[in-house]
Structure 1
Amino acid sequence: MKTKTLTGLVAAMVIAAGNIAPVVAQAPKTESPEMKIYRATTTRINDLVHTKLDVRFDYKKRYLYGKEWVTLRPHFYSTDSLRLDAKGMDIKNISIVKNGKNIPLKYKYEDSLSLAITLDKTYRNNESYTVYIDYTSKPNELHVKGSAAINDAKGLYFINPDGIEKDKPIQIWTQGETESSSCWFPTIDKTEQKTTDEIAMTVPAKYVTLSNGRLASQKVNGDGTRTDVWKQELPHSPYLFMMAVGDFKIYKDKWRNKEVNYYLEPKYAPYAKEIFGQTPELIEFYSKTLGVDYPWYKYSQIVVRDYISGAMENTSATLHGEYVQLTHRELIDAYYDAGRSTIAHELFHQWFGDLVTAESWSNLTVNESFADFSEMLWAEHKYGQDEADAHSYTAMQNYLANPANKTKDLVRFHYNDKEDVFDAVTYQKGGRILNMLRNYLGKDAFYKGLNIYLKTNAFKAGEAQQLRLALEEASGRDLNWFFNQWYYGHGNPKLKISYKWDEAAKKETVYLEQTQDGNTFILPMAIDIYAGSKKVRHNVWMNDKADTLTFASAVKPDLVNVDGDKVLLAEKRDTKTLDEYVFQYFNAPLYLDRYEAIDKATPEQGDAGARKVMLAALKDKYYGLRIKAIKGLNMNNDDVRNAAQPVLLSLVKNDPNTLVRAAAITVLGQLKASGMLATFKEALKSESYAVQGAALTAIALQEPQSALTQAKAFEKDNKGALTLAIIHVYATNGSDAEWPYVYKQFTDAEIQGKFQMIREFAAMTGAVKSSVYAQQGISAIKETAIKYKMYGVATPLIAMLQDIKIKRTALGDTTSANAVDKAVEEINTAK
């Protein structure tokens, strides 16, 4: 699963100190009773063998009417009982199937969550038996909680089933992770279980269906319905079962001799190849890298509305949230992190998660850490080392941003709830750990180890120790030390680095100190010494809390670069001088080398060396660093402005990256130089929404009325940055006439969009003349605060509401001011 956030982790957006900043869900309190429970792998009494379902849907009631034939056998010990997970269902019949007949069985339905069934006899582990169940699933009447990563858990979702929401399709889809498949069919809802399946779906004949495996048959019925039968003939876990029903257009692609299909809403069908077209190349790359060919019958990807997370790796049928469903114009601004990394992430799960599945949620790392790592792996192959390193660094910063993450082991046998394991430790930290492991072992040994792990555990469950053994078998190296500190321990090193040159002895001393509390980390690393126009690499081990390393050098080094491969998962405090960072930018090769130098130079632009770095970085080979440099320019410094302005103008006109062009326009716009207006107005003609949005905002700083007129012209075709720019223009210079547009954009937006525009929305709510409009805005902010309260947004949004109250009171609008008080009370009392 890929969680739906800007950085790929569970995050909401809040306003802090005037900026939008990510806030991750806080860690559970360790003193809770649940944290003292050892989360053992579930005892296997019975094993699933085959699951056959016959389902039909009641759109009006939001019900699924199901018939199930589930075949099982005792795992080892003989048993006369069976327990199935079945959440919130009406159970009409449970029978044993004997010679084609259904013989009723006794059962208890415990708390409407679990079926305790008494079998007709005692079965041995060489005997299979089939249980028939007639049931009704009622997901909208089920009260279950999700998590920050998966914000609902009812398993089966009816989207706009009555067709009353304009411009929203009618759809049905499922979401099984973590244990929500048992909301729509009875099963043993555990990761370690594996079963083949057959699902017959009876749906309105006008709709398309998708499920795991192959479409075995279709039968048109006489009542306007059609029955599609899908067969998954290789075993997989129950949480990976999926169904989707709706009006989708199918784009048919292929990899080797296997089907590769993309299911999209009809209006997005023309962009199917542009969105998903890399998939066959991805499958080939992963198959060759792992030495294990893609294992399933087909690979389909489907995009649905109102999905509760980012995407889900259902076996052979990945389900994506609508944020990957973009038009050509949107895709112009959508670089690797905007959807493409998710496509890579979910595909890698078909091996790590689906072929070999974590035997328990405690070992989720063998699913999600690998999928997170795969995002970097594909970026490296397809887009280059800089893109991979940028992606990896962003992921590491996401983990480091929340101190609570540092208290959690990667393999976690104690947690409040299984949903808590879906966090930055399992995803981003785990991905960085795998990258360190690949660097330490070397790529060939690392991939050989993954091959052994996959082949040894195919169609079964796996855990971190099996991964360790496979990597040890491949490399011949002991890895207990690595797994003990990174998989079964928590935290990360805080590394202080300092240097001393001894001219008389011609020796460079490097002092390394780990300043974190707790355990010492064993850190193999590369140290590169640049001196006399050459680089010498030293591979060293840091084994203690403090180490002193001495290196001979004929001349004083220009640079000592600790962690030369830039792979350490560590918080580094380096004492290099500005001159050394300047040298680093122009001589050390990696993304993070240049990033660190730009970081150091940004506040020091009065220095000629720092200016040299900033100006050079405007033309850096990687677009992300060009943007970083643009945003970091001190245009109040005459030397910087005079040198940078012509470069920025050149970037606006010639840079191949639209986000670079937009960033350059933004900086130039803030100069408010009338001579640039023609450039900005020309940029309004760009295909890129990002470029248009930046240009509109720049024009608004000099010609507010012209920008207002242009904003109205863009109302019919705008997305992303252009939408935000229009809202900014309306909030700054508009009137009540523009409120309906702003209100609709805000209420229709997804979580990230809402929090990107909420400051402007709140400002306009406080300023509009209409009390009715103001109350609409107050209500929308209140609803947002309540809906996302679990992410910690209530406090800043209440502060916004209080500011609105002051403004409404000044306007004499006591009704709206009172509405604020009521809204605040509702937010505070909301669960």
Structure 2
Amino acid sequence: MKTIYAALLAGSISVCAISTVKAQAPQTETPAYKLYRATTTKINDLVHTKLDVRFDYKKRYMYGKEWVTLKPHMYPTDSLRLDAKGMDLKTIAIVKNGKTTPLTFTYDSLTVAIKLDKTYTNTESYTIYIDYTAKPNELHVKGSAAINDAKGLYFINPDGTEKDKPIQIWTQGETEGSSCWFPTIDKPNQKTTEEIIMTVPKQYVTLSNGRLALSKVNKDGTRTDTWKQELPHSPYLFMMAVGDFKIYKDKWRNKEVSYYLEPKYAPYAKDIFGFTPEVMEFYSKTLGVDYPWYKYSQIVVRDYVSGAMENTSATLHGVYVQGTKRELDDRYYDGGRSTIVHELFHQWFGDYVTAESWSNLTVNESFADFSESIWAEYKYGKDAGDAHSFDAMQSYLNQPDAKKKDLVRFHYNDKEDVFDLVTYQKGGRILYMLRNYLGNAAFYKGLNIYLKTNAFKNGEAQQLRLAMEEASGRDLNWFFNQWYYGAGHPVLNISYKWDSATKKQTVYLQQTQDGNVFTLPIAIDIYAGGKKERHTIWMRDKADTLTFDVASKPDLVNVDGDKILLTKKTDSKTLDEFAFQYFNAPLFLDRYEAIEFAKTRQSDKAAQKIIIAALTDKFYQLRIKAINAAALTSYDDVRNAGVPIIARLAQTDDNNLVRAAAINALGKLKASGNMNLFKQALASQSYAIQGAALNAIGMLNPADAIALAKQYEKESNGALAQAILSLYATSGTDAEWPYVLKAISEGDPQTQFGLLRKFADFTGRVKSPDDAQAGIKFIGDFGLKYKQYGVAPQIATLLTNVKDARTKLGDTASAAAADKAAEALK
């Protein structure tokens, strides 16, 4: 699963980039937290699950019949307990020789305890028949920041009353939501084959796991589809989807690959998902295990409760992955494509081999996070892979509470808590680091051993360790003990001393974190006399002093030459050394570090040289970083050298986001001579470039920008729509208020977060009290909705500002409404 949340930057109403995991909540030692979360004991094993289901759209019910086959795991038993949340259980019976015999059972609304007709041994299987009704909308279950609802089965616009929203049904099983729509042993350490028979209105298509074995049109205007998943998988990976989807058929080798989209987006199916077969081929060859399932489908649904879900052979995505060709041209890898590859890798790590407990979720999610970086590396180059891995690491490092959590976590308040930055981003970086330590051949051989040894079964971190040890011949207890079964990360200080008399270079390493000392294999590259010499050392103590004989003073000593360590680092290189690093060290992070160091020192010629050179860096993200860092208004030399390059980038760079960043930088100069450039950029097919151009024109002439924005309102999307919204909120009049209110109300969380302050200012100055109170209601509702992320104080401050502005206008009713909304957030 790839989860989504919007988080606020401390101290301001601003949006972080959409992230892969939920916000980090401090772990308090409640009684639940102190419990050891043991792997669920297996008393009975699922063998086969057959479902026959129909849907009542009006009542939001599902009528189900189930035949579930089980057998005792080890010890004889005369009883069975199934998870079954919020259902009406009408009949439970044993099936023998085609006949059903009712069984006695007790039900507490969450689980059902069934008395079997006899004691069964583990050489015997038995089949239970259950006639039931699932009532998901009447079920009160707790969601989380990662998965914001847990009722398992979702009816979307079932009455057709919401304009422009399709009628859909879909399911979400992780973590234990499948038992909201069929009775099962809803634990990840269970595996079962599956058959689902769905009867639906004949105009709709269906999707489920495995293959469509039969489709039959009925006389009553319905159709019955039978889906069969003939290889075992865990109950949380069961899925169904029903709705008006257009299916685009693709192929990988001899297997069906298909994309299910709303009709509006069907023409762009190949643009959205068309690289999927290439990823399947890459992963199959890299892992030495071919894609294991009958087919691979991807479907996009409305109102999804998380980011995406790796249901076996049938991944379900939220709408953020889809877009028109114009929208997709601005998104690049992190605009949905990384989610697509993440979920696909789960078909091996998560579905083929499944974490045996939520405590060991790392063997699912850390691998999926890691897969994003290796695909970026393969498809777009090493800079792209390293940048993606570095961004993931920074997300983890920037969450202070995350350092307190083990990767393999046997203590937590709720199973949902493990879907966090530690399991995803930290875990992915750890695998990136392990690959570097072992080398590609040994690392991927280890993954191959792990997958083949545990195929269609369950795995945990110790099995991963054993597989890696078998492949590499190296003991890895030290690695797994500190990275998997321990918390935190090293905080590393690095300093240097050159002794010209003795020709010795000294490197001082110090770990300053609280708690355990980390064992770190470190590559140190010494650049001197036109050559690079690598030294590999092991840091095993809190502090190390390393001395190297060097013929002449090094131009650079580059600690962590592979830029692979998971660490928070303070490096005391000089500006000249960072300049040498930018122009001579090979990696993305070498250049990133130099730009980061130089951006606050642009009065110095060496820093200027770095920034100006980075404007044309080979990797687009570093070009953007340099554009944003260039102090064009502070230093004449930077402006004189930088502006011509940035102007060229604004017009000719092959990356839309670089062009947009360049236009934004030129806009901040407020130079009227750039107006023609900005207006020409409005003709671009890129929404990002158009949006940047409109912003830049607005900085020069707001009235002119508003007039231009009117021409683009109907065809706007993406960054252009946000630019229009921002412009109207900043400089608009009451005439633009309806557009702004509608757009922000219908916007995604990222748009809402990013524009909330400007929207509050507009709410404060709009003339109509009714309009002001509509704005106040939106701000207040927004604050309540995201209160769990700690935004309430900032939202309350915005409402107080609105109250003051309305008071100055003599609008006491709106001022009172703002005051009341602010009080509700306390």
What TM-score do the two structures reach when normalised by structure 2? 0.98
Q: How does 1:602-621 map to 2 (within 5 A)?
A: 602-621=599-618
What are the Cα deviations for residues 474-515 of structure 1, in whole angstroms up to 9, with x where unaligned?
000000000000000000000000011111111111110000
Compute the displacement of 1:19 (Å). 4.5
Of 401, 416, 419, 1:419 maps to 416
Of 477, 481, 487, 2:478 maps to 481
In 2, Cα distance between the equivalents of 1:757 and 1:177?
Answer: 33
In 2, Cα distance between the equivalents of 1:641 and 1:373?
Answer: 40
What are the Cα deviations for residues 595-640 of structure 1, in whole angstroms up to 9, with x where unaligned?
0000111011111111010000000000000000000111121111
- Bigger shift: residues 101-110 or 614-623: 101-110
- Do the aligned partners of 2:255 and 2:294 also contact (CA within 8 Å) in 1? yes
Alignment of 1:16 onto 2:11: yes
In 2, Cα distance between the equivalents of 1:288 and 1:52?
Answer: 34
What are the Cα deviations for residues 431-485 of structure 1, in whole angstroms up to 9, with x where unaligned?
0000111011000000000000000000001000000000000000000000000
Question: 1:730 maps to what in 2?
Answer: 728
Change in 2 beyond 3 A, CA 1:672/1:547: same
* 1:728 partner amino acid: S
Question: 1:146 maps to what in 2?
Answer: 143
In 2, Cα distance between the equivalents of 1:703 and 1:817?
Answer: 32
What are the Cα deviations for residues 31-76 of structure 1, in whole angstroms up to 9, with x where unaligned?
2111110000000000000000011111111111111010000001
Of 464, 469, 473, 2:466 maps to 469
Q: How does 1:679-690 map to 2 (within 5 A)?
A: 679-690=677-688
Question: 2:2 maps to what in 1?
Answer: 2
Compute the displacement of 1:21 (Å). 4.4
* 1:138 partner amino acid: K
Q: How does 1:379-528 map to 2 (within 5 A)?
A: 379-528=376-525
- Bigger shift: residues 234-243 or 723-732: 723-732
What are the Cα deviations for residues 557-598 of structure 1, in whole angstroms up to 9, with x where unaligned?
000000000010000010000000000000001000000000
* 2:125 partner amino acid: S
3-state DSSP of counterpart to 1:228: strand
- Do the aligned partners of 2:72 and 2:120 also contact (CA within 8 Å) in 1? yes
In 1, Cα distance between the equivalents of 2:655 and 2:484?
Answer: 39
Question: 2:676 maps to what in 1?
Answer: 678
What are the Cα deviations for residues 306-345 of structure 1, in whole angstroms up to 9, with x where unaligned?
1111100000000000001110110111111110100110
* 2:603 partner amino acid: G
In 1, Cα distance between the equivalents of 2:458 and 2:222?
Answer: 38
What are the Cα deviations for residues 771-824 of structure 1, in whole angstroms up to 9, with x where unaligned?
111111111112111222212222211111111111111111111111112222
What are the Cα deviations for residues 396-438 of structure 1, in whole angstroms up to 9, with x where unaligned?
0100111110000000000000000000000000000001110
What are the Cα deviations for residues 730-764 of structure 1, in whole angstroms up to 9, with x where unaligned?
12221111111111111112222211222222121
In 2, Cα distance between the equivalents of 1:66 and 1:432?
Answer: 43
What are the Cα deviations for residues 363-422 of structure 1, in whole angstroms up to 9, with x where unaligned?
000000000000001000000011111111110010011111000000000000000000
Compute the displacement of 1:650 (Å). 0.4
* 1:655 partner amino acid: D
What are the Cα deviations for residues 8-49 of structure 1, in whole angstroms up to 9, with x where unaligned?
xx4423573465447963434332111110000000000000
Question: 2:804 maps to what in 1?
Answer: 806
- Do the aligned partners of 1:139 and 1:156 also contact (CA within 8 Å) in 2? yes
- Do the aligned partners of 1:501 and 1:508 also contact (CA within 8 Å) in 2? yes
3-state DSSP of counterpart to 1:816: helix
What TM-score do the two structures reach when normalised by structure 1? 0.98
Alignment of 1:593 onto 2:590: yes
Question: 2:560 maps to what in 1?
Answer: 563
Question: 1:266 maps to what in 2?
Answer: 263
In 2, Cα distance between the equivalents of 1:512 and 1:290?
Answer: 37
- Do the aligned partners of 1:12 and 1:752 also contact (CA within 8 Å) in 2? no
In 1, Cα distance between the equivalents of 2:422 and 2:611?
Answer: 34
- Do the aligned partners of 1:13 and 1:752 also contact (CA within 8 Å) in 2? no
Question: 2:50 maps to what in 1?
Answer: 52
Of 626, 630, 637, 1:629 maps to 626
What are the Cα deviations for residues 152-188 of structure 1, in whole angstroms up to 9, with x where unaligned?
1010111111111111111111000000000000000
Question: 1:41 maps to what in 2?
Answer: 39
Question: 1:208 maps to what in 2?
Answer: 205
- Do the aligned partners of 1:14 and 1:793 also contact (CA within 8 Å) in 2? no
Q: How does 1:533-572 map to 2 (within 5 A)?
A: 533-572=530-569
- Do the aligned partners of 2:765 and 2:805 also contact (CA within 8 Å) in 1? yes
* 1:12 partner amino acid: A
Q: How does 1:815-830 map to 2 (within 5 A)?
A: 815-828=813-826
- Bigger shift: residues 470-479 or 29-38: 29-38
What are the Cα deviations for residues 625-670 of structure 1, in whole angstroms up to 9, with x where unaligned?
0000000111121111111111111001110011111111111111
Of 787, 790, 796, 1:789 maps to 787
- Do the aligned partners of 2:136 and 2:153 also contact (CA within 8 Å) in 1? yes
* 2:599 partner amino acid: T
In 1, Cα distance between the equivalents of 2:636 and 2:502?
Answer: 44
In 2, Cα distance between the equivalents of 1:324 and 1:32?
Answer: 38
In 2, Cα distance between the equivalents of 1:371 and 1:760?
Answer: 37
- Do the aligned partners of 2:8 and 2:14 also contact (CA within 8 Å) in 1? no
In 1, Cα distance between the equivalents of 2:646 and 2:258?
Answer: 43
Change in 2 beyond 3 A, CA 1:265/1:316: same
Compute the displacement of 1:224 (Å). 1.1
- Do the aligned partners of 1:39 and 1:414 also contact (CA within 8 Å) in 2? yes
Change in 2 beyond 3 A, CA 1:384/1:753: same
Question: 1:7 maps to what in 2?
Answer: none
Of 645, 651, 654, 1:653 maps to 651
Compute the displacement of 1:264 (Å). 0.6
Change in 2 beyond 3 A, CA 1:454/1:273: same
In 2, Cα distance between the equivalents of 1:472 and 1:242?
Answer: 36
- Do the aligned partners of 1:344 and 1:378 also contact (CA within 8 Å) in 2? yes
Compute the displacement of 1:148 (Å). 1.2
Of 300, 303, 313, 2:300 maps to 303
What are the Cα deviations for residues 95-130 of structure 1, in whole angstroms up to 9, with x where unaligned?
1112212111100102x0000110111111111111
* 1:2 partner amino acid: K
Compute the displacement of 1:692 (Å). 0.5
* 1:352 partner amino acid: F
- Do the aligned partners of 1:28 and 1:416 also contact (CA within 8 Å) in 2? no
In 2, Cα distance between the equivalents of 1:497 and 1:15?
Answer: 29
Compute the displacement of 1:720 (Å). 2.0
- Do the aligned partners of 2:2 and 2:343 also contact (CA within 8 Å) in 1? yes
In 2, Cα distance between the equivalents of 1:564 and 1:137?
Answer: 57
In 2, Cα distance between the equivalents of 1:225 and 1:20?
Answer: 46
- Bigger shift: residues 776-785 or 622-631: 776-785
Unaligned runs of 5+ in 2: none
In 1, Cα distance between the equivalents of 2:510 and 2:818?
Answer: 53
Question: 2:580 maps to what in 1?
Answer: 583
3-state DSSP of counterpart to 2:669: coil
Question: 1:223 maps to what in 2?
Answer: 220
3-state DSSP of counterpart to 2:700: coil
Question: 2:366 maps to what in 1?
Answer: 369
What are the Cα deviations for residues 182-205 of structure 1, in whole angstroms up to 9, with x where unaligned?
000000000000000000011110
Question: 2:694 maps to what in 1?
Answer: 696
Of 618, 638, 641, 2:639 maps to 641
- Do the aligned partners of 2:772 and 2:814 also contact (CA within 8 Å) in 1? yes
- Do the aligned partners of 1:242 and 1:317 also contact (CA within 8 Å) in 2? yes
Compute the displacement of 1:827 (Å). 3.1
- Bigger shift: residues 304-313 or 730-739: 730-739
Of 350, 355, 370, 1:353 maps to 350
* 1:16 partner amino acid: G
Question: 2:231 maps to what in 1?
Answer: 234
Compute the displacement of 1:671 (Å). 1.0
Question: 2:175 maps to what in 1?
Answer: 178
